[in-house]
Structure 1
Amino acid sequence: MDSIRNPFAPGAGTPPPDLAGRDELREALRVAIERARIGRPAKSAMLVGLRGVGKTVLLDRVRADAEAAGIHTIRIEAPEGRSLPALLAPQLRQALLRLSHLQAAKDIAIRGLRALAGFASMLKATYNDIEVGLDYDSEPGLADNGDLEHDLQALFEQVGLAAKAADTALVLFIDELQYVDEDQMAALITAMHRTEQRQLPIVLVGAGLPQLRGRMGNAKSYAERLFNFPEIGPLPAAAARRAIVKPLADEGTAIDDDAMDQLINVTEGYAYFLQQWGYYTWETASASPLTLKDVNQATAIVVAALDESFFRVRFDRLTPKEKRYLRAMAELGAGPHRSGDIATGYPAKVTSLAPTRSSLIAKGMIWSPNHGDTAFTVPMFDQFMKRIMPGEDWRKS
């Protein structure tokens, strides 16, 4: 098979050749954004799911859909160790500058830039990673109290007023939102609540791991009423089949039914894994149609590739105690598992492992579906842990 023509895209956030199984959600988000543009009530959305389900890809596709419809957007990723104000300020500046070039919104957008100047100047002492160009002097009393929750509301109001004057909407796309500190999360939720109360055309589309729902609820109790939380999971069999069959067909290539069934089985329908197995099955095959033998030969290559990249990059961030905790989890299977069962396998008291569990949650490695339960955020990580820490020696470390 011609490697140049390989249609699959195995990368972090890399758009697949066919975004199968997400049309209904894309349409729901399109409707919400358009309702916001015309001043109708519209819920923002938080896309939640495990690693590898395609949240980032979906986030970027929805953004492309919005921009194609003339909606203004900003896109940020919330990595560990960066403050939300530092991430938002430069992007909001760009949005306000774009709006200021529209005659209908010019004056309001300039006032928004003055609000941004006050916001950045007063909060820089608290969030010293804020770096943003200031195009206008601040306006005394506008978003300059030095209190994030109050000032972010004022800033969002000015941005929303500018977008409304321009007869458009602004959509904030924020990936990895679970890494935002709780006080900053609370300020973001409060600001979005205020724009909804004033029916201003600002929509927030976030993405994060499953614990995001709980973290937002802890930050502000009304978050679950303010946002929709669509769960992004593995693709149903029909959508998983389409994600493989259509790109192959576009290249004049077919796949045997038993080979396709095996691909669905080994990938468990996870979008990222479908792209990995599709890519290496193409590379392994010598001719169309792709066969079960091709899939099986590709599997060893895929597992090695995942171990060295997708899984290993997460494993290397862990402390020895955290690795041992995850290995104890893996011994029990994919999960979720009760904390007491993990402690028994470790072995240690549940209370002594609580800090380790908390640090793994903070790192985005595990989450708690229910009180006392623990589950991996990375699909198939239990299998990887058994491969990288085989045997029983891990119990003695």
Structure 2
Amino acid sequence: MNPLDNPFSPGAGSPPPELVGRDLLLERTTITLHRLRAGRPAKSLIFVGLRGVGKTVMLNRVRMIAIEQGYRAVHLEAREGKALPQLLVPSLRQILFQLDAAAVVSEKVKRGFRVLRSFAGALTAKAKMGDVEIELGVDPERGSGDSGDLETDLAELFAAVGQAAADRSTAIALCLDEMQYLSELELSALIMAMHRCSQDALPVALFGAGLPQVVGLAGRSKSYAERLFDYPIIGPLPLDDVRDALQAPVQKQGADFADEAVATLFQATHGYPYFVQQWAYEAWNIAIGPTISNSDVDEATRTSVAELDRSFFRVRFDRLTPREKDYLRALAALGEDDMPQRSGDIAIALRARPQSVAPLRNGLIKKGMIYSPAHGDVAFTVPLFGDFMRRAMPHWEVK
């Protein structure tokens, strides 16, 4: 069929033509936003799941819902090598300028600018936090947000910005992706800042997303994190939802998927939304139409795997050191279906002592390649990555 009419859109954070299976999560989001806007207590949400389940898509949808409800909403993405203040300062500056746009001067908004200036200046002076210098056209407010202690100062800053939003009868939604890349100090400071907003009943919401290790990181950072946030798990789609995600877009264009083709695509992708989009995209381009057949999906499997090997998997593989590749190849060798494996068994496969491979394990967790679903276990954060490792290193053996 005509590739120009292809409704499917594989890509990092690209919205699917049909968002299915997430209605309950979106309903929880809407309730949280309504309650906070009305001054009622509500837990912020951190979406947790593996790569390719649509966490970024959810965050983008949450941001749009928040904007529709009158929130000032921003999307941020944590990254390796970039400090949390460097991410937050430009976004909070943007929010304050939006709040300052009204004709009537607000002293709360002006104070928000001064505290932000103090916060940025203090952290710039503390070189290890990186350069977060900004132009605001105001003098800093000495003694507020400028101690150089991130936990104390971020709470002061969030409170000042939250008070500015309340003064303008609006609310703020911070949508923070890839939270697993935050340091323990940064995550602790963020939790403390949201705790301050909750205690003061300020209209500030945090919607985060991250790999499964985020839950443990948050709990270790602050014991009350579990009372401050909910951690809904976003997983693969069941067969019925995959069917809806496939049929609804193509039927709008007079085509459909054969029942057997749907079942085959579901089996190949394990229901992970990113892979569903990739397989469906390829199947559409292959099919003569108007019905996408099982043989079309079989051919789409070949082209999809080749494309993922060139891009989705390869970019992660190329970030690994030789020893890290050995570790992941050993993990892949122990289970054909990417199930969790014991850390000790991986050490045995590498013919090494568990203590000697612990730094490799910890480094791979920090890189977001693996996580620990239970004490002593590890598993891939990227679905189907074990299959890729077996293809990428077919003749692997311990050096």
| Counterparts of 1:7 and 1:168, CA distance in 2 | 37
Task: Give the aligned partner of residue 346 of structure 2.
Answer: 342
Q: Deviations over 1:273-313 (max 9, x none)?
A: 00000000001101111000000011110000000100000
Task: Give the aligned partner of residue 116 of structure 2.
Answer: 116
Deviation at 1:150, TM superposition (A): 1.1
| Counterparts of 2:357 and 2:133, CA distance in 1 | 39
Q: Deviations over 1:161-197 (max 9, x none)?
A: 1111222110100000110111111111001001000
Deviation at 1:105, TM superposition (A): 7.1
Whether contact under 8 Å (2:351, 2:398) holds in the other structure is no
Q: What letter corresponds to residue 369 of structure 1 in structure 2?
A: P
SS in 2 for 1:124: helix
Change (3 A) 1:366 1:105: farther
Change (3 A) 1:189 1:105: farther
Q: Deviations over 1:303-333 (max 9, x none)?
A: 0000010000000000000001100000112
Q: Which runs of 5+ in 1 are unaligned?
A: none
Whether contact under 8 Å (2:49, 2:211) holds in the other structure is yes
Whether contact under 8 Å (2:176, 2:209) holds in the other structure is yes
Q: Deviations over 1:187-234 (max 9, x none)?
A: 110010010001100000000000000011111111111100000100
| Counterparts of 1:105 and 1:71, CA distance in 2 | 20
Q: Deviations over 1:74-110 (max 9, x none)?
A: 2110000000011100100010110112356722111
TM-score of the two chains, using structure 1 as the length reference: 0.98
Task: Give the aligned partner of residue 167 of structure 2.
Answer: 165
Tell me whether 127-136 or 228-237 shows the greater mean CA deviation.
Answer: 127-136
Change (3 A) 1:12 1:105: farther
| Counterparts of 1:132 and 1:74, CA distance in 2 | 18
Q: Deviations over 1:336-386 (max 9, x none)?
A: 000111112122111111010010001000000111000000000010000
| Counterparts of 1:373 and 1:302, CA distance in 2 | 30
| Counterparts of 1:290 and 1:105, CA distance in 2 | 60
SS in 1 for 2:47: strand
Whether contact under 8 Å (2:326, 2:398) holds in the other structure is no
For residues 166-181 of structure 1, what are the structure 2 equivalents within 5 Å? Answer: 166-181=168-183
Matched, 1:142 2:147: no
Whether contact under 8 Å (1:46, 1:207) holds in the other structure is yes
Q: What is the alpha-carbon root mean square deviation over aligned residues? A: 1.1
SS in 2 for 1:47: strand
Task: Give the aligned partner of residue 134 of structure 2.
Answer: 132
| Counterparts of 1:228 and 1:91, CA distance in 2 | 24
2:380 corresponds, among 376, 379, 382, to 376
SS in 1 for 2:175: strand
Task: Give the aligned partner of residue 253 of structure 2.
Answer: 251
| Counterparts of 1:242 and 1:376, CA distance in 2 | 28
Q: What letter corresponds to residue 394 of structure 2 in structure 1?
A: P
Q: Deviations over 1:246-265 (max 9, x none)?
A: 01111111111000111111
Task: Give the aligned partner of residue 205 of structure 1.
Answer: 207
TM-score of the two chains, using structure 2 as the length reference: 0.97
Whether contact under 8 Å (2:350, 2:398) holds in the other structure is no
| Counterparts of 1:356 and 1:140, CA distance in 2 | 44
For residues 71-90 of structure 1, what are the structure 2 equivalents within 5 Å? Answer: 71-90=71-90
Taking only the aligned residue pairs, the percentage that are identical comes to 52
Task: Give the aligned partner of residue 25 of structure 2.
Answer: 25
Matched, 1:295 2:302: no
Whether contact under 8 Å (2:187, 2:221) holds in the other structure is yes
